[in-house]
Every structure is written in structure tokens, then in C-alpha cells.
Amino acid sequence: GAGVSQSPSNKVTEKGKDVELRCDPISGHTALYWYRQRLGQGLEFLIYFQGNSAPDKSGLPSDRFSAERTGESVSTLTIQRTQQEDSAVYLCASSFSLVLSYEQYFGPGTRLTVT
Amino acid sequence: DAKTTQPNSMESNEEEPVHLPCNHSTISGTDYIHWYRQLPSQGPEYVIHGLTSNVNNRMASLAIAEDRKSSTLILHRATLRDAAVYYCILSSGGSNYKLTFGKGTLLTVNP
């Protein structure tokens, strides 16, 4: 079946602009996660959704970052007034349920470059 | 959060077993041990996880020390497709979803 998809695959934006990143989870997966991976670093957890509710936003770096999810479907991560330190690969993952969160399926990521 | 320590890199030859170590001396009783791997230019891929007992699946085996302060991911016969960064991660029972990845071990497989 189809895996997790993300769009765009690459995004170059100017400092100060807003960007919106999209994630389509695996159909039927109720839990969805966003991570960030800076160059040469491990992953940082940003936020997770159970359905369209986000019980844990503790990883969002600042109030410039926000995320939404429509039902148990698409999610968007929005970064307002982008800064150069926002440059990273943004990864989305989904799992069948929160109980099965140990097995997360990752998308290919969106590479964001802020110039 | 409990931390893990892994070697920066390891090398193996094709068709030989690989033992990837991970130290987690500050692990708590409710922490699960997860292993993911990340192939070049791809998102991470789940490999295996465990709590106390050794675990086997189609991809690998996970050997957990009796005191749980260390674990080893075992690839029984390395292939060139196993070349990746391998991450050992701990998560507490209440927040298994929050996978905090370190720098992992870069595994090189020689033909």
C-alpha cells in the first residue's frame, strides 16, 4: 500500500516568508508525528496528533511553528516568518494508533532551505 | 530523558553478522528500547523494539542485557542494503511516541 507522503520534497524560501509543509499519512493510521532533522544531526520531536487533536506540542521550537490535522488525514506544518535556523529536513510519520507508536512509518521528508 | 551512547561508525563485510551496541546506563524501568535505521536520503525505518526480553523479527534481533543498561542490535547476515545510520532510542512507557534520535551509528557494509 501507499506509504507516508510529504510535499513539497524541497522548498527554498527567503528569510521572513511563511511556509506550509504537507503530510499525507498511511490510510487508517490515527496517530501522526512531526520531526525535524538538522544537517548531520538526529531527529527532534516536534508534535504529535491523535486524530485531529494535538495533546503534545512540547517539541515546537517557537510560536512561529504551528500544525493542524484534518480528521485522521492530512496534516500541515506551518512556519511563519522563517529564519535561517529553520533550515532542516522536516519528517512526518504515522502509526496505526498511539498504542502502537513504537512502530512509526516515516515519509521521505521535506528539505527546507531558508536563504 | 535517558540518554543512549552508540559508536559513531562501524564496518562489516557482506553476509557476515553485525552487532551494533548501545549503552543506556540511566534507563528507567518503564523505558522501552527502540531501534530505527535511516538509509541515505530516506526517512527512518522501524527495525525492532523491546523492554526486557530479547526480541527477534524478520529484520533483526535485539539482545538486552540483564540489567538493561545496554543492548545490542544483531543483523544476522549483513547485505549492502543494510548500510545505514542505526539509531538506538529510549522512550518511557507514557510517551512511547516521542522518539528522540541521537546521532546513531553509521554502518558501512563492504562487498
pLDDT at res. B95: 64
Instruction: Give the pLDDT score at A52.
Output: 85
- To 5 degrees, how large is the angle CA A11–CA A97–CA B46? 60
Taking only the tens place, the pLDDT of each residue in A14-58 is 999 999 999 999 999 999 999 999 988 888 889 989 888 888 888
Longest dimension (CA), chain B: 42
Confidence band, pLDDT 50/70/90 cuts, at residue B99? confident
Contact by Cβ (8 Å): B18, B75: yes
What is the C-alpha to C-alpha distance for residues A108 and A103, in angstroms, rounded to an integer?
16
**DSSP states of A7-35:** E-SEEEE-TT--EEEEEEPPTT--EEEEE
Q: B42 to chain A nearest CA, in Å?
A: 5
Mean pLDDT value across residues A64-74: 91
Q: Chain B: which residues have CB within 8 Å of chain A?
A: 32, 34, 41-46, 49, 87, 91, 95-104
State the nearest Cα–Cα gap between B109 and chain A, in angstroms: 20
Confidence at residue A58, expressed as pLDDT on a 0 to 100 scale: 83
Give B5's strand partners: B23
In this prediction, residue B93 carries a pLDDT of: 59
Strands B105-110, B9-13: pairing is parallel
| Mean pLDDT of all residues in B17-21 | 97
Q: B103, A41: Cβ pair inside 8 Å?
A: yes
The phi and psi torsions of A65 (rounded to 5 degrees) equal -100, 135
Mean pLDDT across the stretch B40-55? 91
Report the sign of the C-alpha dihedral through residues B98, B103, B104, B108, in that order: positive
| Contact list, A45 vs chain B (CB under 8 Å) | 98-100
Please answer yes or no on whether A43 and B45 come within 8 Å at the CB atom.
no
What's the confidence (pLDDT) of residue B96?
64
* B52-72 average pLDDT score: 94
Percent pLDDT > 90 in chain B is: 73
